[in-house]
Structure 1
Amino acid sequence: MMTKREMLQVLVREIRQDVDDYQQLRSLLRHQRELLQRRDHQGLEQHNPRQNALCVKLARRAKRRSEILRTLGVSADQTGMDRLLAALAPQTQKPLKSLWSQLGNLIRDCQTENEVNGKMLAAQKGSIDRLMKQDAGNSSDYGRPL
């Protein structure tokens, strides 16, 4: 069983790791958009597993962070984190608050990047669907079906 101090140390360390990993995820999402723009199917097949693995790692740490917050007696949400921060000594509170804020900004950046990529994929799918319907309606362009 970890002490509260050890739990706090794990929390800080993993938030730092999340900041690094969300910076990497933001870069991966931007690279994914470039691959989508170029319609680089092979590049996407190589890229997406790396991006998915990073997301799994981030989700695991978020789950552990929630468990730690609950064990420390606060809710596993922004309100709980705010309560924890308020209870810390200033020399611990200030750097953790800064890290937490940085992490929140990176998460929002990644969500925005992901939404842009999703819209791009939806637009490409729409174009393909329209082409497929158009081709199905113009089967006489290539002669009579066999």
Structure 2
Amino acid sequence: MHDMTLLQLIEDDFAPAQQLLELLQTESIALHGRDMPLLEDILARKQSLVILLDQQGRRRSELLASLGLSQDREGVVQLASHSQAGERLLQQLDALGKLLADCQALNAGNGQLIQIQQGATANQLRILMGGESPSLYDSRGSTSPLAKPRALSQA
């Protein structure tokens, strides 16, 4: 009975996990295009999916804990060893794990893209606001003092 409940909880996570993966792919495209309205919409939908997946994960953990099993893959393996649906349970768990790992990898890539864009934006703002001028090299190969204005021919 508990094995089928756990299996159902795992299978219930496939749809939101797949939606999350698709959202992360769309987010990557929106980040490249700097489409802010789309990114705001994606963020709201992404947060609701993450909350749903987190709640489902807690329900699975609570079920395993109520059976006196560890709340990780090992606990599922122990439950599966006493179940007729054990093989299917493990297959579905592994498939869900791969799907969530794909989401995590794509999210990490999107995070790196955001950091790169933030750095570029900060640099552009610094230039626009008249902040530090970039270090220039003179004809001798040494860096020029930042405070001293130079002729363009000496850059």
**Aligned position for 1:144:** none
**Aligned position for 2:59:** 64
Equivalent-residue separation in structure 1 for 2:75 and 2:4 (angstroms): 17
Q: 1:118 aligns with which of 65, 86, 111?
A: 111
Q: 2:122 aligns with which of 129, 134, 143?
A: 129
Q: TM-score normalised to the size of structure 1? A: 0.84
In the TM superposition, structure 1's runs of 4+ consecutive aligned residues that sit over 3 Å from their partners are none
Structure 1 unaligned blocks of 5 or more = 140-146
Q: 2:40 aligns with which of 22, 40, 45?
A: 45
- Alpha-carbon RMSD across the aligned residues, in angstroms, is 1.5
Contact 1:19 1:99 in 2 (8 A): no
Higher relative contact order (CA 8 A, sep 6+): 1
Matches within 5 A, 1:1-146: 5=1, 7-89=2-84, 92-137=85-130
Contact 2:3 2:80 in 1 (8 A): no
Contact 1:19 1:103 in 2 (8 A): yes
Choose between structure 1 and 2: higher helix proportion: 1
Structure 2 unaligned blocks of 5 or more = 133-155
Q: CA deviation at 1:20?
A: 2.0
- Deviation digits for residues 59-118 of structure 1 (CA, Å, limit 9, x no counterpart): 0000110000011110101221222222223xx112111101101110110011101100
Q: TM-score normalised to the size of structure 2? A: 0.80
